[in-house]
Amino acid sequence: MSTPIRFDIAAHDRRSRARAGVLTTPHGVVHTPALCPVATQATVKSLAPDELRDLGAELVLVNAYHLNLRPGADLVAKLGGLHSFMAWDGPLMTDSGGWQVFSLGFALEHGVGKIAGLFPDEGDTRVRARGQRPRLTRVDADGVTFTSHIDGSRHRFSPEISIGVQERLGADLILAFDECTSPLHDEGYTAEALTRTHRWAQRCLDARTRSDQALLGIVQGGAFEELRRESAAFIGGLPFDGFAVGGSLGRSKEDMRRVLDWTVPLFAEDRPRHLLGIGEPEDIFDAVERGIDTFDCVSPTRLARHGMLYTPDGRIAIRNAQFQQDFRPVDSDCLCYTCRHFSRAYLRHLFVAEELLGYRLATIHNLAFMLGLLERIRDSIRQGELAEMRRGFAARWGRAEVTIGGQTRDAP
Amino acid sequence: MSTPIRFDIAAHDRRSRARAGVLTTPHGVVHTPALCPVATQATVKSLAPDELRDLGAELVLVNAYHLNLRPGADLVAKLGGLHSFMAWDGPLMTDSGGWQVFSLGFALEHGVGKIAGLFPDEGDTRVRARGQRPRLTRVDADGVTFTSHIDGSRHRFSPEISIGVQERLGADLILAFDECTSPLHDEGYTAEALTRTHRWAQRCLDARTRSDQALLGIVQGGAFEELRRESAAFIGGLPFDGFAVGGSLGRSKEDMRRVLDWTVPLFAEDRPRHLLGIGEPEDIFDAVERGIDTFDCVSPTRLARHGMLYTPDGRIAIRNAQFQQDFRPVDSDCLCYTCRHFSRAYLRHLFVAEELLGYRLATIHNLAFMLGLLERIRDSIRQGELAEMRRGFAARWGRAEVTIGGQTRDAP
């Protein structure tokens, strides 16, 4: 099957693996490196599609797991597919459900996320991870049986089912169905899971029937060098239209950087590379320099809804009393709708009064900030000045957070 | 003090007291009859100012009571006044706080609203109304002492304080501070309260210092003919820039019509007339035909947030299962952003998934529907076809509600 996407690399950074390019999909182009806002339930929370377009978003990620449970992939297909359903006619990506099955199963019960484990006692993780099998999900050689987080009904995901769901949803870029392991899983279990993920990768390739969707393979292997290298070589050798780095990225940001160093060099240069679920400014610099082209992350939008707003000096907690009489916009240099019209004092008022408009104005700003940062990253790569640009960003970033103490760090 | 507004009547209906006109304020014109969306806390819930403008809203009402408690009138004044604070540069009206002191005091404790009383035993109302004096508010000859619904702190409103607050907020149209009685109050208490309201009306006129704000007097008197006529004559005789009909409108929509018949003919023809807190389609026709020029009502926006959407056939409950696969827009003839882009099925999905975008898309549609209805009312008056237009509207209105039974009536 010939690939329905085209990826043209326009510039390479001289001092890192960073590259700037143009990804052409059936629904338009994506300038890379690109951050895609996450529309978990077919809506980027609080925003309408025209706002996303105005903000310069070019690629949006939707969760196949959530959409399949509610309102159902068949219904979305009947309504003309995701683009029509959510009135977004630009490029779309769906994830395969692997991450959600993990995060709503094991991760939910044990309280672990993408990077850090909860349990400080590392030697104990194997017992805990193996002994406390998640109640909501059961993995077998063929797929995953899980319980809906919405109504407790039983469901099944397999490579074939996931591809079928994603084909009915109809995004431009879809992802292979994988088993996502936890930072608590030891190397033995992670290796077992990886074997499944690799078998499933081939089955995803075999299951696809649509020629207008690009299928991306997912590399797993936790924070284990040998497994990650093996996975990148294996997945990188399959005829995927692009590659994604998924799953547990270890216990620290240093682990994430190592995982990227082990894996990305093994991918074909001419295919796009996606990093799943990562998207804070520092992480993006790290990943871009290691050759990642696209990202999805709920951080900018989730932080916004919690009143945490990005500024060049770091995140500020807009509910903080210090902003009560602050007549300035969130960021004086920002040209977003929020910063052009509203003061920090008004935004604080909206958050304190729990007004819906607050969540939206904050979301607009945070996405404008992050999408603007990605635009500057693209420009810097093309101009051979990425390192300088990063240094300039880092020199200011974080200064504001000091002034408001623990509040920024308490945000979910 | 010369009036800062101009009111030009462009057309009178031949068969009713309806008139179509243009109200010119310091911040622009309002074509009447007009419905003003309510921005209780300096935001029409979920909407940004540019959306209000796109929808054709020309006048927005903000609650002085709420704004004074949070974030405070002084703060808003420091930030340049309400227009600047909420980034709405069109005409604004503030209410005086009289209604809120009532509704968060007596009404809250006894569960009564603008029209119907809760207690079926009418003969008992005097005892109940007099005997159960509200704990949160205390009325004296000079004003009202009340407890904040936010933090329990004690506050005072008087004619002078209310005018001071409204002057600091800086709306184009402000309202006299009145005592709003309940449908449960008997004629004796209502008359006592009316005496206060009339004294306070003169004090409001004396207290005003700004020449760029129009001050509207409020007629009270419950559902008692003699009191209402007396109040309309008294308030109508004072040098207000316009008049408002407020307070309890009795126990039925028939009572509301009677109150308007008793009062509106006593107002000077050349000054604008506002009806406080009324805004369902049927009520608007009734009030326009009785000579009302402007309305404020939370109904369209509040119903929207509860998933109740206006169609020419009546309100529909979008969460209803019947809309699960309904590919049509809410209203095929509607040109609002929601109806141009989204299906009933998508809106239902957003409401079922409790997505923020749902509340907003529903609010956009309901306001588009109501503001469109007001536009047709204005056109009909100018073309001498109001009665025919109302008959056409009424012939369809309510049909949809039959099909979904109790659901529409259960909505708050």
**Chain position carrying tokens 């009572």:** B255
The pLDDT, as a whole number, for residue A137 is 82
Cβ of residue B52 closer than 8 Å to a chain A Cβ: no
The pLDDT, as a whole number, for residue B149 is 82
Closest Cα in chain A to B78: A325
Closest Cα in chain B to A87: B341
The pLDDT, as a whole number, for residue B129 is 44
Residues of B in contact with A41 (CB under 8 A): 349-350, 353, 355
Indicate the residue among A297, A324, A340 that finishes a domain.
A297
Cβ separation A46–B360 shorter than 8 A: yes
Task: Name the residue facing A355 among B41, B342, B361 (closest C-beta).
Answer: B41
A 10 A CB-CB count for B48 gives 23
Cβ separation B48–A360 shorter than 8 A: yes
When mean pLDDT is compared across A125-129, B207-211, B331-335, the lowest value belongs to A125-129
Residue B29 lies in a domain: no
- Chain B closest CA to A148's CA: distance in Å? 14
Task: Please tell me whether residue A157 adopts helix, strand or coil conformation.
Answer: strand
Q: Say if residues A256 and A297 touch (Cβ distance below 8 Å).
A: no
Is B336 in the same domain as B289? no
Cβ separation B42–A349 shorter than 8 A: yes
Is B270 in the same domain as B324? no
Cβ of residue A46 closer than 8 Å to a chain B Cβ: yes
ipTM > 0.95 for the complex: no
* Helix residue ranges, H only, A132-171: 159-169
- Chain A closest CA to B346's CA: distance in Å? 6
Is A218 in the same domain as A114? yes
The pLDDT, as a whole number, for residue A410 is 33
> Is the pLDDT confidence value at B132 over 90?
no
DSSP string covering A326-362:
--S-S-TT--SHHHHH--HHHHHHHHHTT-HHHHHHH
Residue A122 lies in a domain: yes
Is B336 in the same domain as B273? no
Cβ separation A349–B71 shorter than 8 A: yes
Residue B136 lies in a domain: yes
Cβ of residue A352 closer than 8 Å to a chain B Cβ: yes
The pLDDT, as a whole number, for residue A105 is 66
Cβ of residue B48 closer than 8 Å to a chain A Cβ: yes
Cβ separation B47–A87 shorter than 8 A: no
- Chain B closest CA to A61's CA: distance in Å? 16
Is A85 in the same domain as A208? yes
Task: Name the residue facing A79 among B43, B343, B350 (closest C-beta).
Answer: B343
Residues 80-99 of A with CB under 8 A from B: 85-87
Residue A199 lies in a domain: yes
Over residues B368-403, the pLDDT tens digits come to 999 999 999 999 999 999 999 999 999 999 887 544
> Is the pLDDT confidence value at A212 over 60?
yes
Q: What is the mean pLDDT of chain A?
A: 90
Task: Please tell me whether residue B259 adopts helix, strand or coil conformation.
Answer: helix
Is-catalytic flag, B95? yes
> Is the pLDDT confidence value at B134 over 80?
no
Q: What distance in Å separates the CA atoms of residue A114 and residue A297, rounded to the nearest whole number?
A: 11
Element (H, E) at A366: helix A356-382
Indicate the residue among A297, A320, A345 that finishes a domain.
A297
* Helix residue ranges, H only, B87-224: 98-103, 106-110, 125-131, 159-169, 187-207
- Chain A closest CA to B194's CA: distance in Å? 34
Strands A294-296 and A34-36: parallel
Q: What distance in Å separates the CA atoms of residue B183 and residue B327, rounded to the nearest whole number?
A: 44
DSSP letter at B265 equals: G
Per-residue pLDDT averaged across A343-362, rounded? Answer: 98
> Is the pLDDT confidence value at B248 over 50?
yes
Is B201 in the same domain as B291? yes
Strands B19-25 and B6-12: antiparallel
Over residues B257-313, the pLDDT tens digits come to 999 999 999 999 999 999 999 989 999 999 999 999 999 999 999 999 999 999 999
Residue B223 lies in a domain: yes
% chain A with pLDDT above 70? 89
SS3 per-residue string spanning B157-183: ECHHHHHHHHHHHCCCEEECCCCCCCC
- Nearest residue to B51 (alpha-carbon basis) of A41, A89, A47, A334: A47
Is B253 in the same domain as B328? no
Over residues A104-120, the pLDDT tens digits come to 666 655 556 555 433 33
Strands B294-296 and A28-32: unpaired
Cβ of residue A42 closer than 8 Å to a chain B Cβ: yes
Segments forming the whole domain that contains residue A192: 6-297
Catalytic residues of A: 95, 296
- Chain B closest CA to A274's CA: distance in Å? 27
Residue A350 lies in a domain: yes
Is A126 in the same domain as A97? yes
The pLDDT, as a whole number, for residue A129 is 45
Cβ separation B41–A349 shorter than 8 A: yes
| Residue B114 pLDDT class (50, 70, 90 cuts) | low
Is B259 in the same domain as B329? no
Chain centroid, CA B11 distance in Å: 24
Answer left, alpha or beta for residue A87, where phi above 0 means left and psi between -120 and 50 means alpha.
left
Closest Cα in chain B to A325: B75
Is A164 in the same domain as A268? yes
Task: Name the residue facing B350 among A43, A324, A325 (closest C-beta).
Answer: A43
* First-residue to last-residue Cα distance in chain A: 43
The pLDDT, as a whole number, for residue B109 is 55
> Is the pLDDT confidence value at B404 over 80?
no
Cβ separation B357–A43 shorter than 8 A: yes
The pLDDT, as a whole number, for residue B229 is 98
Per-residue pLDDT averaged across A134-141, rounded? Answer: 79
Q: Say if residues B195 and B220 touch (Cβ distance below 8 Å).
A: no
Q: How many structural domains is chain B composed of?
A: 2
Q: What distance in Å separates the CA atoms of residue B349 and residue B95, rounded to the nearest whole number?
A: 37
CATH number, residue B196: 3.20.20.105
Question: What are the tokens at A211?
Answer: 């020629």
Residues of A in contact with B43 (CB under 8 A): 350, 355-357
Over residues A82-112, the pLDDT tens digits come to 999 999 999 999 999 888 877 766 665 555 6
The pLDDT, as a whole number, for residue A63 is 96
| Residue A403 pLDDT class (50, 70, 90 cuts) | very low
Per-residue pLDDT averaged across B313-338, rounded? Answer: 97
Q: What distance in Å separates the CA atoms of residue B58 and residue A334, rounded to the nearest whole number?
A: 29
Residues of B in contact with A49 (CB under 8 A): 341
Is A309 in the same domain as A217? no
Residue B312 lies in a domain: no
Residue A149 lies in a domain: yes
Q: What is the mean pLDDT of chain B?
A: 90
The pLDDT, as a whole number, for residue A109 is 55
Across A33-132, the runs of DSSP E, i.e. the strands, are: 34-36, 38-39, 60-63, 92-95
> Is the pLDDT confidence value at A163 over 80?
yes
Q: What distance in Å separates the CA atoms of residue B176 and residue B218, rounded to the nearest whole number?
A: 6
Residues of B in contact with A48 (CB under 8 A): 337, 341, 357, 360-361
Task: Name the residue facing B78 among A79, A87, A325 (closest C-beta).
Answer: A325
Task: Please tell me whether residue B91 adopts helix, strand or coil conformation.
Answer: coil
Per-residue pLDDT averaged across B170-193, rounded? Answer: 94
The pLDDT, as a whole number, for residue B212 is 97
pTM exceeds cut of 0.90 = yes
The pLDDT, as a whole number, for residue A409 is 36
The pLDDT, as a whole number, for residue B125 is 37
Please provide the size of chain B in residues: 412
When mean pLDDT is compared across A141-145, A379-383, B90-94, B99-103, the lowest value belongs to B99-103
The pLDDT, as a whole number, for residue B378 is 98
Task: Name the residue facing A85 among B346, B353, B355 (closest C-beta).
Answer: B346
Is B255 in the same domain as B220? yes
Indicate the residue among A297, A323, A358 that finishes a domain.
A297
C-alpha angle A325-A326-A328 in degrees, rounded to nearest 5:
150
DSSP letter at A180 equals: P
The pLDDT, as a whole number, for residue B119 is 31
When mean pLDDT is compared across A135-139, A230-234, A354-358, the lowest value belongs to A135-139
Q: What distance in Å separates the CA atoms of residue B7 and residue B31, rounded to the nearest whole number?
A: 10
